[in-house]
Amino acid sequence: MQVAIIGLGLIGGSIGLALKQTSDPGWKIVGYARRPEVASQALSSSIVDKIEASLKETVKDAELVIIATPVLTIKGILSQIADHLPHGCVVTDTASTKLQVMKWAEELLPPTVDFIGGHPMAGKETYGIETAEAGLFQGCIYCLTPAEKASPSSIGQMSDMVKKLGATPFFIDTQEHDSLVAGISHLPMLLSAALVSATAKDASWDKMSALAASGYRDLTRLASGNPEVNAHICLSNQEAILHWADKFSKELNRYRRLLASGDKQLEEALAEASKARQQWLKDYLAYHPEPKL
């Protein structure tokens, strides 16, 4: 099996490391990165077996092509590799939004290859190839959105790859994916950034920052993410994110009204939210058990 990985940041680099550790002998990982220093580090860190200087050479013998770049760059990459993909090749991506990507794949890729959209529900607030880790996907959900014409064998091949990463394949409709992920992933990123903007611009930030502790740290963690990747996510999923932003604004205004009026129902609202989170956390930990020390 020859796998081509286009984009060797946190996600692409972690996929390379995981496949190198779990794959059978005979697997070969070929990488492509825009920056020479990233390509060099991918080789020295044994993330890939080989680096190619062009997209054409990267994909020409690949049985599986993984595009792990910011979402708005994927259209250009698909157009550049379309004429060089081997017959029967499977192409996938790792972008956090799927609707636009699936449209581009249908429009640009030849009928001789299968496209299966992908989105690992894993990551870190840090980014870059130096943050890649083989265990990043252990126990995570990995969303898959196969193109309508994708063959059962290609879907099976992609599922096997996901399992090699330590993740669980989760098949989902493209539009439903973008709507749901907007609420639990994209909106939190914007809220995190907005809180940093609101506080860091305040005249009292010098003193406030000295007082900020774990609560502020945890709630603003996502603001440290890759600005390019996050901007691309938002611009490729505007409608769904705006929907959830409006819902959040209504809830925040509800809490504001309860606070402003001194309403005792504020405690009830907080208790309701606490109960809902505890139930989610219980379910989450049941599926993602914490490692034993």
157 & 192 share domain: no
62 & 42 share domain: yes
Contacts of 55 (CB under 8 A, 6+ apart): 6, 32, 77, 80, 81, 84
**Domain endpoint, select from 152, 172, 192:** 172
Question: Max Cα separation, the chain?
Answer: 68
pLDDT of 285:
85
Angle at 113 between CA 156 and CA 94, to 5 degrees: 65
* Chain-centroid distance, C-alpha 221: 16
**Domain endpoint, select from 143, 172, 201:** 172
Any domain includes 255: yes
* DSSP H or E run through 118: strand 114-120
152 & 83 share domain: yes
32 & 120 share domain: yes
Name the residue range of residue 194's domain. 176-287
pLDDT of 289:
58
In the chain, % of residues over pLDDT 90: 89
Inter-residue contact 160 to 118 (CB < 8 Å): no
154 & 183 share domain: no
Q: Is the pTM of this model over 0.85?
A: yes
How far are the Cα atoms of 86, 118, 244 from residue 98, in angstroms, in the given order? 24, 8, 17
pLDDT under 70: residue ranges of the chain? 288-293
Domains contained in the chain, number: 2
pLDDT of 291:
45
127 & 6 share domain: yes
H-type helices in 221-264, by residue range?
227-235, 238-261
190 & 155 share domain: no
Any domain includes 293: no
Any domain includes 106: yes
151 & 187 share domain: no
pLDDT of 269:
96
pLDDT of 293:
33
Any domain includes 292: no
- CATH number, domain of 140, equals 3.40.50.720
Any domain includes 233: yes
Each residue's pLDDT tens digit, 117-171: 999 999 888 888 999 999 999 999 999 999 999 999 999 999 999 999 999 999 9
Any domain includes 157: yes
150 & 194 share domain: no
- CATH number, domain of 256, equals 1.10.3660.10
156 & 199 share domain: no
